[in-house]
Chains A and B, each alone.
Chain A
Amino acid sequence: MAKKVKSRTISVRLISMAMTGYFRTMIRPRTHRPLSMLKYDPVVKKKVLFLEATKGGRNR
């Protein structure tokens, strides 16, 4: 039986490092390094660091 084909891209969750629980969902190529960026967090009303979180917390 043929293996199920994985999609080329995955959707990932970028969590605000201000610990507000705010997050953004983005799509990146599966083989790309984890995303991280400065974005606006409306809870603290500032630009803060957002880091990608994966299930189990394992990133390359």
Chain B
Amino acid sequence: MATTQASSLVNKLPARLRNFFARYPPQVYSAAVAPQPEAPETAAVNAPEELPSPYTPNRDAKGFKHPDPKEFSPSRAFLHSDPKHPNPFLPRKNFRTGKWSGPRVGLRRQAELVKLAIKYNVEALLPPGRKSTEYKDTRRNERGLAIKGTGVGQKVKGHKWERTMEARLEDRRKAMMEMPEMIRLWKQRGHGRGWKSWPKR
């Protein structure tokens, strides 16, 4: 019963996806059966700090550092390839010859397949690759938006007016709090005749 349902679903898929799944069966290659990425215990998982507001940049945060390619990251762990069944979406190294061979399916075809699979709601059956929605989301979380300074531990210098905005607003607020008292004193002292503390230019 279940097999007939499944086969009818498979028949609804376009030929291109059917051919792909025939060649790379989901029960072996898909992202769903790949082991879930787990952080090694030694790797310090840096918790995302509070997102910096443009007016209160985090002075202590370090500038953006390009991640070490050997370090653990969820997006890198997501690109999983089983040595027995090499992921057709990833390049692989031949350990005998030491040479790299490109992915069986190039990035352009991967993108086309992923778009098709999304349309037919079978994206989870594709092997993990750089074009998949999950990879893109994970990577965006790690690296932040295309806007500088929105990633974890990133900051931007900003303009001077942005960096000093908070302090200036605070000064202004304090000055305005004291303004009625100041005006009262000024009126009391003959509208400036007895005034001592003149501002510096």
On A, residues with C-beta under 8 Å from B are 13, 15, 17-20, 33-38, 43-44, 46, 48-49, 51-57, 59
Q: A34-B192, A35-B192 are in contact. Are A59 and B179 (CB under 8 A)?
A: no
The tally of CB-CB contacts under 8 A between chains A and B is: 61
A–B complex contacts, Cβ < 8 Å, 22 sampled: A15-B199, A17-B175, A17-B199, A18-B172, A19-B171, A33-B192, A34-B192, A34-B195, A36-B191, A36-B192, A44-B172, A46-B176, A48-B183, A49-B182, A49-B186, A51-B192, A51-B195, A52-B198, A53-B199, A53-B200, A57-B199, A59-B198
Q: Are the CB atoms of A57 and B200 closer together than 8 Å?
A: yes
Max chain B CB contacts within 10 Å: which of A37, A46, A49, A54? Answer: A49
Q: A51-B199, A53-B201, A57-B201 are in contact. Are A18 and B175 (CB under 8 A)?
A: yes
Q: A36-B192, A53-B199, A57-B200 are in contact. Are A18 and B186 (CB under 8 A)?
A: no
Q: Are the CB atoms of A48 and B200 closer together than 8 Å?
A: no
CA distance A18 to B193 in the complex (A): 21
Q: Are the CB atoms of B172 and A20 closer together than 8 Å?
A: yes
Chain B positions within 8 Å of A44 at CB level: 172, 176
Q: Are the CB atoms of A19 and B198 closer together than 8 Å?
A: no
Chain B positions within 8 Å of A55 at CB level: 201
